[in-house]
Structure 1
Amino acid sequence: MRATTTLPDLTRQHREGFIETLEGLTLDDWLVPSLCREWRVVDVAAHLAWAPVMGAGEGIVAMIRSGFSMNRLIARSAIGWSSRGQEAILDQLRDNARTGARPIGMPPVAALSDAVVHGLDVRRPLGLLGQVPPESLAPLADFVLGTPWPMNAVIGGSAKRRVAGVRLVATDVDWTHGAGPDARGSAEALVLLLHGRVPAPSELTGPGAEVVLARL
């Protein structure tokens, strides 16, 4: 990150950018399948709206009903929350951007991760430009690579295992990770890869690209 850009600043900017994207969508766009399996755009938006403000009691009840599966809890909650409607979703997203709300027990960078990655989950299927400033790559990579099992199950699985034996090289910011054959890509492509999403083959180049794409 640039010295003048703080983590809260980045998170707020991404959240506000996501709100602007949603405000420009048609009713049909809200129902388009996202990159998140079984979630539509509206479900992703509902997840970003209410996951950061879920109370401890509500979370315990939802966990029990989901058979103590965090992934099942997240998936079911988002679909349930989406029934509250677009205006309620947008109002809650605006409140989260204003207050800096984040899920209980999660570090501040988790809110940035959600805003960036789920923003791409929505924008890519709709053919919209991503919003991944290069300075957000380093904190997101540190977060996802440093999150151990079982918590990494909710952020795309083990990024560390996915990129083992490969050197990731960003083409739009001074950032590298690992050792081995190079896999080169933009900050956006590398964020997708680290979070278990599949970038287009043309977005990753170098002898290590084929290795990491085969693991997705």
Structure 2
Amino acid sequence: MDVDEKWRTIAEQRTALAEVLAGLSPGDLDRPSLCAHWRVRDVAAHVALTPCSPGLPGILAAAVRARGDFDEVNRAMAVAHAERLGAGLADELRAVALSRRRPVITTVDNLLFDTIVHLQDVAVPLGLEVEAPRDGAREGADRVWRMGWPFWARRRMRGLRLVATDTDWVRGAGEPVHGSIRDLLLLLTGRTDVALPRLHGAGVRRLTSPG
């Protein structure tokens, strides 16, 4: 995918997330997402907030308040944005869908997998089946495989060979784990409990074994 294709996919995923949110009850918005300690509305607000980043000084100030815990920085900013927007979350996502602004500390490749995965973080707990864009998920899986923090995917998947069943993507060496590229992306980004029922192959038992 070239850069324009990546941004188009990000825009499509933001719009799809807005469609999921539209008409949700306050109770549904307050459901736990796949992200620990994040509500559905917080994840959506995080996606909406991305083009409106407070900038590096604001992020650093928030990091100081959170004593260097960047996960808590992200969560606190998302919660605050969710409370500000209230029922306007879907409209905000539509308004920023085409924006190519991004925080200085991230890249379009990171935003691509982040947006795809967060749509699933919202849809799955709501019992909705939302298809992930195959090319985007493949690019996202590649990016997560290459990076270290925060997922450490190659280290966690050592001894396994991940094989996508719906596109040309194979990574790692060892016992095979087969699944769609969407489910492999969810696995790589730590959504193991959600991905596992959809995966098959000799390596799956290693993923279910404690330690």
Q: 1:25 — aligned with what?
A: 24
Q: Deviation string for 1:43-96 (max 9, x for gaps)? A: 111111113422222212111101012112112222222211334433432232
Distance 1:146 1:94, change over 3 A: same
Indicate whether 1:171 and 2:170 are aligned: no
- Give the Cα separation in 2 of the matches to 1:26 and 1:62: 31
- Give the Cα separation in 1 of the matches to 2:58 and 2:183: 35
- Give the Cα separation in 1 of the matches to 2:104 and 2:131: 26
What TM-score does the superposition give when structure 1 sets the normalisation length? 0.88
Distance 1:215 1:142, change over 3 A: farther
3-state SS in 2 of match to 1:83 = helix
Q: How far off its partner does 1:8 sit?
A: 1.4
Q: Tell me the percent identity.
A: 35
Please provide the CA RMSD for this pair. Answer: 2.0
Code of the residue aligned with 1:130 in structure 2: it is V
- Give the Cα separation in 2 of the matches to 1:92 and 1:65: 27
Aligned residue runs from structure 1 range 63-212, under 5 A:
63-148=63-148, 152-153=149-150, 157-198=151-192, 199-212=194-207
Q: Deviation string for 1:170-203 (max 9, x for gaps)? A: 1111211111111001122101101011235331
- Give the Cα separation in 2 of the matches to 1:16 and 1:215: 38
Instruction: Flag the structure with higher helix content.
Output: 2
3-state SS in 2 of match to 1:33 = coil
Q: 1:45 — aligned with what?
A: 44
What TM-score does the superposition give when structure 2 sets the normalisation length? 0.90
Structure 2, unpaired ranges of 5+: none
User: In 2, are the aligned partners of 1:162 and 1:212 still within 8 Å (CA)?
Assistant: no
Distance 1:168 1:215, change over 3 A: farther
Code of the residue aligned with 2:106 in structure 1: it is M
3-state SS in 2 of match to 1:99 = coil
Q: How far off its partner does 1:110 sit?
A: 1.4
Q: 2:60 — aligned with what?
A: 60
3-state SS in 1 of match to 2:92 = helix
Distance 1:89 1:58, change over 3 A: farther
- Give the Cα separation in 2 of the matches to 1:117 and 1:65: 28
3-state SS in 2 of match to 1:184 = strand
Q: Deviation string for 1:17-61 (max 9, x for gaps)? A: 111111142232111111111111111111111134222222121
Code of the residue aligned with 1:20 in structure 2: it is E
Q: How far off its partner does 1:213 sit?
A: 4.0
Q: How far off its partner does 1:103 sit?
A: 2.2
User: In 2, are the aligned partners of 1:170 and 1:184 still within 8 Å (CA)?
Assistant: yes
User: In 1, are the aligned partners of 2:113 and 2:141 still within 8 Å (CA)?
Assistant: no
Q: How far off its partner does 1:101 sit?
A: 2.7
Code of the residue aligned with 2:199 in structure 1: it is L
- Give the Cα separation in 2 of the matches to 1:215 and 1:71: 25
